[in-house]
Every structure is written in structure tokens, then in C-alpha cells.
Amino acid sequence: MDKSVVRAWVLLAALTVTGLALDLATKHWADASIACGEQIRLVGSMLSLVLVHNRGAVFGMNPQKWFPGFPVNVFFAVFTVIAVGVILVYYHRVALRDRLVQWGLILVLPGALGNLFDRVVRPAKGVVDFIMIDLNVWPADPWPVFNFADMYVTFGVACMLASLVRDEWRRHQAAATATAAPSPGPQAGASQDPSAGT
């Protein structure tokens, strides 16, 4: 196997383990150290620690608000397992061709696994969220409470969207260049009017 491919998989494994460990460790700390309803201000009202047990999706979105009885944990557990499989297959195909996509997948994987762990191990509690940002400006007024796994997923998706925008811009530039290019003139030495010189 190509050494560059091996390095790409080692990078994925190392950062997945590191990111997952950081996510689980901070969740454990928050669950053990922050009381429900307590707000620990770090930077005024802009950045605080607030313990929330989220039984919904990312950033607290809960399908049960619209569909009572919806099996949230089961649905997102199955969805995450499928997503992890898709990530690994896609990573194998694009890791060496597109660095933005590579880093996007590297970030999304530990994020998905971190929240999956909570849903499987603590289904009654749900996902542990504890970081709150309040900038007094919509949509961060305040932003829904989140965790490190949510940050991984958000930045990972942003990387992949940036790759799509970049590729679309390149296609647009290539098409514009092709349209603006002058058409080739008559070749030197082309045959003249046969009646010329008679």
C-alpha cells in the first residue's frame, strides 16, 4: 500500500481517538462538576458552562417536538452508524485528492462517535452538552448549548462545504476563461482564392 495512503489512515485514526477522548473527558467532567441549572461564566455572558442533557439532535433540536413518541436515540444511533460507514468509504476515495474534504471527514468522525457514545451508554440522559455562547445577536442570543463533538461536526461540515464552493468557483473560472479566449484565426499559409493571379 502507498505510504501516503497509510499516513492518511494513521492520521484519521490518531485524530479520531484524540478527538473522541477529549469529547468524552470533557462531558464526564461537566456531568460530574456542573449542577443542573448552574451557569459558570467564563467570559462575561458571552461564554458560559451550562449543563444540559440533550435527548434531541445537534444543538438541541428535538424531533419529538413535532413528532411525539419519535424514537430519537434509536434513530440517531442507526443514522450515525450508517454515517460512519459512509465517512470511511468516502475517506478512502478522496483523502489524498482533496485536503479540505479529508479534514472535514477527520473532524466529523469523532464528533459522530462522541454523541453516539452518549446515546448508547446513557440513553435516558441523552447527550451531555455544556458550552453556551451568548453574543446578544441572532442567532447566538444565545446559541444552543453544545459540546466538543458538535464543534467537530460543525467545522467538519464547514470544510466540506468550503471544498464544494471552491470547486464550483474553479469550474466557473474555467468556463469564463474558455468563453473569453479568442477563436484561432486562419492558419498561416492557408490556400488563397484559386482565381488569384490568373
Active site residues: 129, 150
User: Using CA atoms, how far apart are residues 197 and 52, in angstroms rounded to an integer?
Assistant: 94
User: Using CA atoms, how far apart are residues 107 and 19, in angstroms rounded to an integer?
Assistant: 8
Over its C-alpha atoms, the chain yields an Rg (Å, rounded) of 26
Q: Quote the cell numbers at residue 127.
A: 447527550
Tell me if 146 sits within 8 A of 131, measured CB to CB: yes
Beta bridge partners of 53: 128
